[in-house]
Amino acid sequence: MKRKIFLGLLAALVIIQLFRIDKTNPESDPNHSIFVVESVPTDVETIIKTSCFDCHSNQVAYPWYSNIAPVSWVVKNHINEAREELNFSEWGSFTTKRKLHKLEEIEEEVGEGEMPLPGYLIIHGEARLSEQQQQRLVNWAKGLRTGEKIEEK
Judge contact between 54 and 60, C-beta under 8 A. Answer: yes
pLDDT tens digits, the chain, 153 residues: what are they?
888 888 888 887 777 787 888 888 999 899 999 999 998 999 999 999 999 998 999 999 898 888 999 999 999 999 999 999 999 999 999 999 999 999 999 999 999 999 998 988 988 999 999 999 999 999 999 999 988 655 544
Helix (H, G, I), strand (E, B) or coil at 148: coil
Residue 27 within any structural domain of the chain: yes
Residue 141 within any structural domain of the chain: yes
Half-sphere exposure of residue 25, counting CA atoms within 13 Å on the CB side? 16
**Cα–Cα distance list, 144 to 40, 73, 74, 117 (Å):** 9, 35, 33, 23
Residue 153 within any structural domain of the chain: no
Task: Find the domain containing 17 and state its range.
Answer: 2-146
Long-range contacts of 58-62 (CB under 8 A, 24+ apart): 58/25, 58/26, 58/27, 58/28, 58/83, 58/87, 58/89, 58/90, 59/25, 59/89, 60/23, 60/25, 62/23
Residue 151 within any structural domain of the chain: no
Structural domain count, the chain = 1
